[in-house]
Amino acid sequence: MRFDAPLRFRSGAVLDAYDLMYETYGTLNAARSNAVLVCHALNASHHVAGWYADPAGKGAKNVGWWDNMIGPGKPLDTGKFFVIGVNNLGGCFGSTGPASHNPRTGKPYGSAFPVVTVEDWVAAQARLADRLGIETFAAVMGGSLGAMQAMQWAISYPERIRNAIVVAAAPKLSAQNIAFNEVARQAITTDPDFHGGDFYEHGVVPKRGLRLARMIGHITYLSDDAMMEKFGRSLRSGAVNFHFDVDFEIESYLRHQGDKFAEYFDANTYLLITRALDYFDPAQDYGGDLARAFARARARFLVVSFTSDWRFSAARSREIVKALLDDRRDVSYAEIDAPHGHDAFLLDDPRYHALVRAWFDNIHRETAP
């Protein structure tokens, strides 16, 4: 969808016009009361569920990143709800981003693309909702960075969201989390092929930096127990080879993930999204008081955390819950005992999925004509 009205970013920068790539699933009811916005995390996109047809005739491909959660008969049932997925501004899957054409220069935006924040994304999503004729979302849902967007929706547009589903989140990043993001950014910006963010003009991609950034990130998404269970100290060849190439299976796995990521993700997008993570802090404008930040919210909240998530620990989710309770807001909290680490919000945990299904079943009963 094309937007020609300028968008002013929180930084003060202005984007004169932009595109938002989005997908919808299911049918918007006559009352327009069953719309659910699903916000993506770091390296995901608007393609939240289902498969794309392969035009080469080799079968379907590219399953949506939350396909186990969203679809016909799934916890977020597209037979009942009209689900919207959006690729955020600054992304690399169709929405205007650093690789897009800059009409002022005739070149890709590159390093000139404005630094974006969660607030900017939510403002753009609200404009998309306006165009689609959706005044109020039945729910805004997300995990990790997507959950931060759900929280920001409840603060920025309290009258336009009835439920916020906040999964594997934190009210702001810890110093350790910012540190991980900075190491990943340094891996990219110090790659000789980065060229200050204008690598498009040089016909190269900073793949080495992207590989390292992805490897660093992937370590933080998994728990120690999950890594040990999946890989342990298994040797790839069955014996120690006394060299610095791949010896352990975990090394092979991380390199594979890094190589795959570097083939499809944009380096500048990675910088922008990790910076948006760093900057998110709704309490900042309220003297550090999260309850004051949430005082505007009117939505009911479902907050879900996972015991083995050390990147966004359960204690951080409980900070969100406490602030909402201090405001006497309607909030339900579930702490799921799961071994998978931060990535647990993307996996098939029966208790977690049953909880989300029950929550949406309740919403459906309220929104059904």
What distance lies between CA 172 and its chain's CA centroid? 14
Q: Which of 100, 340, 342, 343 is the catalytic position?
A: 342
243 is catalytic: no
Q: Which of 120, 191, 281, 309 is the catalytic position?
A: 309
Q: In angstroms, rounded to a whole number, what is the distance separating the alpha carbons of residues 86 and 20?
A: 7
Does an H or E element contain 148, and which? helix 145-156
Q: In angstroms, rounded to a whole number, what is the distance separating the alpha carbons of residues 86 and 350?
A: 27
Q: In angstroms, rounded to a whole number, what is the distance separating the alpha carbons of residues 49 and 69?
A: 8
Reported as half-sphere exposure (CB side, CA atoms, 13 A), residue 85 has a value of 22
Q: In angstroms, rounded to a whole number, what is the distance separating the alpha carbons of residues 180 and 12?
A: 27
Q: In angstroms, rounded to a whole number, what is the distance separating the alpha carbons of residues 137 and 37?
A: 7
Reported as half-sphere exposure (CB side, CA atoms, 13 A), residue 49 has a value of 22
144 is catalytic: yes
Position 187, amino acid: A
Q: Which of 45, 95, 144, 156 is the catalytic position?
A: 144
45 is catalytic: no
Active-site residue list: 144, 309, 342
